[in-house]
Structure 1
Amino acid sequence: MLHLSLASLLSLTSLTGCISGSYPDSADAGTVSTPSRVSDLTYPITISHRGGADVYPEESMEGFTASAKDGFLPEMDIQFLSDGTPVLIHDDTADRTLNGASGKIRDLTLDEWDSATIKNPTGGPEAETVTLDELLDELGGDVVMVPEIKPGATSAEVNQVLDEFDERGLTDSLIVQSFDFEAAKTIAARGYSSLYLTEATLPKESTNEITDAGIEWVGPSFKLPNQDLRTLINAGLKVVPYTMPTAGDGHRLPHGVAGFFTNDAWTN
């Protein structure tokens, strides 16, 4: 599959202003604002949920690259094809976001995945589907990214993904997420910044259990009451609620959050 490289996209935007008239204006060509190391982040951070799913085709290289160039942390979801290839899509089925493929992601072949396209939320051009390898070839080590290993992944698949990150030397370039506490523990034990995702209630694990597992980040629903968000913040956890409609909605969160997820990082 052919994807624009970051350098090519920067060159293109210098000529056109943006990749499509329906897309937001980007940072000056030639600049990449997102740090390459977690240790270099400044807070609060803005995490571009699914690569900016309300602005760009969901989980597309265009969205990931534009997010990184404009200073946002690209976020993506990892599912697995029938042959075990890790690919980037939120749902466990293709129907909502893809054209040219349907049914369970785990039933699709790589050829079927490659021939599908990602729907555009604004009615513009569709985008090519993206494998994890393609993303890491494009942006791995250049910007901090926030991949989620989706629920349903086996422990072997969790380790498969982490092994690939290890091979590319990405320990300090990723914040790896999971809704599964055991997977989040494994992520932390493997030396990665681990983000434990929770719902609109406090996690069933105590804050001591979370921190004792080496987990530094918690991602609750933004609907979690502010007093509960403060409980997590006061425990010393980096709290990044999901998913604000736009970056401008971040003001609704209490002081002390480390950042937030948003489907539109460009609208303040």
Structure 2
Amino acid sequence: MLGDRSVATVSTTEQKHLRPRTASILSAAALAITVIAGTAAAPADLVRGTPGPAYPKTPNQVSELELPVTVSHRGGADVYPEESMEGFTASARDGFLPEMDIQFLADGTPVLIHDDTADRTLNGVSGPIRNLSLEEWDSATIKHPQGGPEAETVTLDEVLDELGGEVVMVPEIKPGATSAEVDQVLDVFDERGLSDSLIVQSFDFEAAKTIAERGYTSLYLTGATLPTESFDEIADAGIEWVGPSKNLPTRDLRRLDKAGFHVAPYTLGTAKDGHRLPGWIDGFFTDDAWTK
């Protein structure tokens, strides 16, 4: 299913939004973390907001992935501030696929946050993400899961400026996005020549179908039961990956695998849990990719 793709030329796009980014050494943030036993320390040479070395451990094309893959859910939400640049870059550096969620501000700017409200993960703002201005978003900070330093919020453009084309990423277009917003996000990816470098997810079958039609590797997220669509319908839509809940019975996971899909359950507590999965599983999502 992971067929060879032609290498796309990454185009340079004019940055639509500039804001000062405070350079912060990830190792300093890591010192504030009570490191879980068996957890790898964050790399000491990653500097926020400045060009860094390449990410040799994480391929930059989907066709180059070695299965099974470890998807760092929300950038490692149990280790780093959820959906922060610190988490995304540390995940990429250590060989994991950074995963992020796309929501939209009041002016339509795509930003990275899981919930459709700010309250659980952000300080400085509250309420629906779609009600926030870009200025309010920029002023907010992301809470640290273990009480460490907070992080700056991240827009889609900012993470693509940092990692786009450098590593394979796994963005999710969140439920509630209109068909126009799905196309808007895919247009951004097109402008940057990222069709070979992304696995794009959605819980919405029509969105997952559109993602595949637009030439991207599509991951259809499902729940703790098999999808309502038939396996043939999913395959005919061009969808290659299925992401069921970890609570889907093993027999049904195996049925998806035998139907020819790449199966990547969500969300495991740690990579150690993921490594206990059957050998035919092609990937898994985890909030802590470092604990093995």
TM band (smaller chain)? over 0.9
User: Any unmatched runs of 5+ in structure 2?
Assistant: 1-18, 46-52
Q: Assess if the C-alpha contact under 8 Å between 1:46 and 1:72 holds in 2.
A: yes
Measured in 1, the distance between the counterparts of 2:209 and 2:41 equals 39
Measured in 2, the distance between the counterparts of 1:133 and 1:263 equals 23
Deviation at 1:206, TM superposition (A): 1.1
Measured in 2, the distance between the counterparts of 1:117 and 1:25 equals 23
Letter in 2 for 1:94: A
Measured in 2, the distance between the counterparts of 1:251 and 1:159 equals 35
Q: Assess if the C-alpha contact under 8 Å between 1:226 and 1:253 holds in 2.
A: no
Structure 1 residues 222-233: aligned runs within 5 Å: 222-233=246-257
Q: Assess if the C-alpha contact under 8 Å between 1:230 and 1:254 holds in 2.
A: no
Determine the structure 1 residue equivalent to 2:242.
Answer: 218
Structure 1 residues 14-163: aligned runs within 5 Å: 19-21=29-31, 22=33, 24-26=40-42, 30=53, 32=55, 33-163=57-187
Moved over 4 A (4+): 27-31
Determine the structure 2 residue equivalent to 1:167.
Answer: 191
Measured in 2, the distance between the counterparts of 1:251 and 1:265 equals 11
Deviation at 1:25, TM superposition (A): 1.4
Letter in 2 for 1:102: S
Letter in 1 for 2:277: L
How many pairs are equivalent? 260
Q: Bigger relative contact order, structure 1 or 2, given CA contacts below 8 A and separation 6+?
A: 2
Measured in 1, the distance between the counterparts of 2:54 and 2:183 equals 34
Q: Deviations over 1:86-119 (max 9, x none)?
A: 0000000000000000000000000000000000
> Cα RMSD (Å) of the superposition?
1.6
Measured in 2, the distance between the counterparts of 1:2 and 1:52 equals 24
Identity value in percent: 72
Deviation at 1:250, TM superposition (A): 1.1
Letter in 1 for 2:174: K
Deviation at 1:255, TM superposition (A): 2.3
Determine the structure 2 residue equivalent to 1:181.
Answer: 205
TM-score between the two structures when normalised by the length of structure 1: 0.93
1:93 match: secondary structure: coil
Letter in 2 for 1:20: A
Measured in 2, the distance between the counterparts of 1:116 and 1:79 equals 15
Q: Deviations over 1:116-167 (max 9, x none)?
A: 0000001000000000010101110000000000000000000000000000
Measured in 2, the distance between the counterparts of 1:159 and 1:63 equals 27
Q: Structure 1 residues 117 and 28 mapped into 2: Cα distance closer, same or farther (>3 Å)?
A: closer
Q: Between Structure 1 and Structure 2, which shows a larger proportion of helix residues?
A: 1
Determine the structure 2 residue equivalent to 1:241.
Answer: 265
Q: Deviations over 1:182-222 (max 9, x none)?
A: 00000000000000000000011111111110000000001
Determine the structure 1 residue equivalent to 2:16.
Answer: none
1:194 match: secondary structure: strand
Q: Assess if the C-alpha contact under 8 Å between 2:79 and 2:145 holds in 1.
A: yes
Measured in 2, the distance between the counterparts of 1:57 and 1:98 equals 10
Measured in 2, the distance between the counterparts of 1:250 and 1:228 equals 17
Matched, 1:197 2:221: yes
Q: Deviations over 1:33-83 (max 9, x none)?
A: 110000100000000000000000000000000000000000000000000
Q: Assess if the C-alpha contact under 8 Å between 2:29 and 2:148 holds in 1.
A: no
Matched, 1:208 2:224: no
1:143 match: secondary structure: coil
Letter in 2 for 1:172: D
TM-score between the two structures when normalised by the length of structure 2: 0.86
Measured in 2, the distance between the counterparts of 1:79 and 1:99 equals 17
Q: Assess if the C-alpha contact under 8 Å between 2:30 and 2:42 holds in 1.
A: no
Measured in 2, the distance between the counterparts of 1:161 and 1:90 equals 16
Measured in 2, the distance between the counterparts of 1:31 and 1:174 equals 17
